[in-house]
Structure 1
Amino acid sequence: MIDVVVVGGGPVGLYLAALLLQSGVSVRVLERRAEPNTHSRAIGIHPPALEALDGIGVAARLVSDGVRIRRGVAIGGGVEVAEMSFDAVSGTYPFVLSVPQSRTEAVLEQRVRGLDCGAIRRGVTVTGIHDDGSAVAVDLLTPAGESRIHASLAVAADGARSTVRQRLGAPAPLKVYPDRYLMGDFADSTEFGPDAALFLEAAGIVESFPLPGGVRRWVARLRGADPDAHTAGSLARMVRERTGIVIDAGTNSMLSSFGVRSRLVKRMIHGRISLIGDAAHEISPIGGQGMNLGWLDASELAPLILGRLARTAREREFGNFESHRLQAAAKAARQSEINMALGRPLPAPLWNVRNRLIAGAAGVPAINSRVAARFTMH
């Protein structure tokens, strides 16, 4: 019997596996996908998460691979409304790191395999999970057929549609928002360099973030539910109409449309089974906090796992962990709701008022610093 089964081989599951393996714990990561992720997906790594990733020796490599976003600007009607610097948010990592999720996962997977070449099992579907009070049994479907693996503890990091959460019947009320977005990665033709730019336009927000290799991500809030609008050309058109910036649709390397939901479990600890990351709390991608929340969940859970395996952990420690992490997720959800509200379409008079209010608040150093800290999860 192994020590810990981690269900889900995404960035959160891989990070937890590395933390545990380097502490001498035996781990198996069960991942449904047969091949590694190649999608850029989540790109922002915040300072607290970089500090956590440094604990497994991968932060420096990711920083060398990514773009350091030290400043964000808000623009409305072609005029700079506000500026936000991240220089004071962290002594070690005074920036938000932009790096494709595919690269992040590749670095994490290499670290895990370096610690235990057999720790990751791909092409595995979890069909059941059972906690008898002394161990956990996980039922699997593999290309070779059905099997079962036994472990002292199990952690579900299997995403927003978590199979483990469903198998546990864990209550997790779902909230659906009216907001929809279209995002894509294109060759960078702007002069923003490593800066992030938010265009607060009356027709809806447009967000722009640098990526490595001369690429820039664009995210636009959609108006209506026209399925024909979900193309690289339509995104380029929205960007041009709202910002005046011309991007070449032919350089598109990733395109995705998404709606927004939020979900927060009532409990993260279920006996010998824990839920972390999106399996425990799904929040809006606007603000880029979801993946980072999962890493911080894992960082706080790992010492408790070690304590439970050593029979030194106390139950109240798990209760404190659960309370703290659910509070952090609720705070992030509130921040994402504010971010979405600021980006919704507005009639011209209200749009002018909103932008003037943002400019006034940003001009107060104490408010500007506090907002920068909130945006970077400090």
Structure 2
Amino acid sequence: MTLARTGVLVVGGGPVGVFLGALLAHAGVDVQVWERRDTVPSGSRAIGIHPPSLDAFAAVDAAVPVLAEATLVRRGVARSRGRTLGTLSFDGVSDTHPYVVTLDQHRTERILRERLESAAPGALRPGTTVTALRRHRDHVEAVGIGPDGGAIELRASFVVGADGARSTVRDLLGIATTGREYPDRYVMGDFADPEPLAARSDALVDVGPDGVVEAFPLPDGRRRYVTLVGRGAPEHDEVDAERLAETVRRRTGAAVDPASNSMLSGFRVRRREAVRVGVGRVVLIGDAAHEISPIGGQGMNLGWLDAAELAPLLAEGVRTGSAGPWPAYAARRQAVARRAARQAEANMALGGRAVGPAVLGREVVLRTLLGLPSAALLARTYAMRWS
């Protein structure tokens, strides 16, 4: 039996996997992307797109359509107890994109899917699940179930697991993870933006005594609120639009209309890292390799930047038959992920509940940091400009 062949099989057709597929297709590599979902993406969980990701998107002509739909966030404003502590300008974070942008995840995915389809029609295979990987010296045989329920097999020079925090590829390889669960729990929701017009492009972070409230502008006159609601097991009625709107109003004074809610979700936070990123001709990227707290909005961007660094290595491997320099690639990308994870942990600590002198101390620290020239470095760090 002659197996169908491809240069690279990407398992996982979310934003990271589809972007990697588009990068490979634009580089002339034969690629397939298997995605277990057979529906069009919907929802708006991840929204932040940082300057390095926008630079990477340019390689597949995705930056322009993303910017055409997105909201440009040019500064962050820190508040506490009704007072402004300071502002953080993104004007100096990038020569090409001096801002952070926000766009609903499903809209970003749609654009990336269009770029993949344009470069490699039919490369995305919805409703397709991988069930086994047979690794050989010069190729990998992937076994799966197609959209019709029938068995399928594919021979690929390389396989990439871009299938998220509960990665099937990682499990098939027997790769363990290390990490921890955090006790904090959050509720987030999208509402009509109640802020005055002058603040509609600002990211707002309130670090009052009861815990952080993050507020990010979204397209179409909406705003995403993320609130710390407690620690430990979530209460059954916490994910409620009226309750979230009241929490935001009480902590920040913003008059959020619960009737305008368009997305609502509760979540816990964890940090996980795969003990190995590559085994033979199979490699992990994105959340399959390193899952970090979403507080700070860097997780999806880490995956995109994994893809941007990995794509030329895969293209060279397909061209020359080499097995790929996974140790060097893994060391670089996991180091970046650890840095982002530490930053997310610092953000969570800064936004925790506080009483008495701790509240005042936190406010003094933020006023000082945001008032110094080094605030420009903070802006670059938040925008993932680390060099």
Find out whether 1:77 has 2:81 as its counterpart: yes
Residue 239 of structure 2 is matched in structure 1 by: 230
When the two structures are superposed, what TM-score results if normalisation uses the length of structure 1?
Answer: 0.97
Deviation, structure 1 residue 314: 7.5
> Once the two structures are superposed, what CA deviation does each residue of 1:1-44 show, in whole Å capped at 9, x if it has no partner?
11110000011111111111111111110001111211111100
Aligned residue for 1:203?
210
- Whole-angstrom distance in 2 between the partners of 1:356 and 1:23: 51
Partner of 2:303: 294
Letter in 1 for 2:224: R
Amino acid at match of 1:18: A
DSSP 3-state at the match of 1:227: coil
Deviations 1:144-173 (A, max 9, x none): 322222111110100011000011111211
Picking from 99, 119, 127, the partner of 2:123 is 119
Aligned-CA RMSD value: 1.2
The code of the aligned residue for 1:266 comes to: V
Residue 76 of structure 2 aligns to which amino acid in structure 1?
G
Pick closer, same or farther for the CA change 1:106–1:307 going to 2, 3 Å: same
- Report the counterpart of residue 13 of structure 1 in structure 2: 17
Asked whether 1:149 is paired with 2:157, we answer no
| SS of aligned partner of 2:60 | coil
Amino acid corresponding to residue 307 of structure 1 in structure 2: E
Whole-angstrom distance in 2 between the partners of 1:21 and 1:268: 23
The equivalent residue for 2:221 is 214
Deviation string 1:107-145 (CA, Å, 9 cap, x unpaired) is 000111111221011111211112122211111122232
The answer as to 2:168 corresponding to 1:163 is yes
Q: CA deviation at 1:255?
A: 0.4
Is the 1:8–1:32 contact (alpha carbons within 8 Å) kept by the matching residues of 2? yes
Find the residue that maps to 1:16 and give its secondary structure.
helix
Is the 2:138–2:323 contact (alpha carbons within 8 Å) kept by the matching residues of 1?
no
User: 2:254 is matched with which residue?
Assistant: 245
**Of residues 36, 53, 57 in structure 2, which corresponds to 1:53?**
57
- Whether 2:275 is the aligned partner of 1:266: answer yes
Quote how far apart the aligned CAs of 1:319 are: 2.1
Task: Identify the match of residue 294 of structure 2 among 277, 285, 293.
Answer: 285
User: 1:337 matched to which residue of 2?
Assistant: 345
Q: Does 1:376 align with 2:374?
A: no
TM-score scaled by length of structure 2? 0.95
Aligned length: 376
Amino acid at match of 2:211: G
Structure 1: distance between partners of 2:161 and 2:323: 21
Deviates most, 189-198 or 135-144: 135-144
CA distance in 2, matches of 1:354, 1:112: 46
On the 8 A contact 2:79/2:206 being kept in 1, the answer is: yes
Question: Secondary structure of 2:230's partner?
Answer: coil
Deviations 1:304-323 (A, max 9, x none): 111111227585x4322111
Give the Cα–Cα distance (whole angstroms) in 2 for the partners of residues 246 and 290 of structure 1. Answer: 30
Q: Aligned match of 1:172 in 160, 168, 177?
A: 177
Identity %: 45
Tell me if structure 1 keeps the 8 A contact 2:277–2:326. no
The answer to whether structure 1 residue 88 and structure 2 residue 97 are counterparts is no
Shift of 1:216: 0.5
Alpha-carbon displacement from aligned partner over 1:90-111 (angstroms, at most 9, x marks no partner): 0100000111110000000011
Q: Map of 1:357-376 to 2, 5 A cutoff?
A: 357-365=365-373, 367-376=374-383
**Aligned pair partner of 1:44 in 30, 37, 48:** 48
1:168 and 1:190 map into 2 onto residues whose CA distance is: 49
Match of 2:112 in 1: 108
Aligned with residue 285 of structure 2, among 276, 285, 289: 276
One-letter amino acid matched to 1:337 = E
Query: Does the residue aligned with 1:223 lie in a helix, a strand or coil?
Result: strand
CA distance in 2, matches of 1:363, 1:22: 45
What CA distance in whole angstroms lies between the structure 2 residues aligned with 1:318 and 1:342?
36
Contact 1:304 1:318 in 2 (8 A): no
Is 1:66 aligned with 2:70?
Answer: yes
Match of 1:324 among 312, 332, 339: 332
Cα distance, 1:242 vs structure 2: 0.6
Contact 1:240–1:247 (Cα < 8 Å) also in 2? yes
Contact 1:304 1:313 in 2 (8 A): no
For the residues of structure 1 that align with 2:257 and 2:317, how far apart are their CA atoms? 54
1:311 matched to 2:315: no
Distance 2:309 2:225 in 1: 33
Question: 3-state DSSP class of the match of 2:158?
Answer: strand
Q: CA deviation at 1:174?
A: 3.0
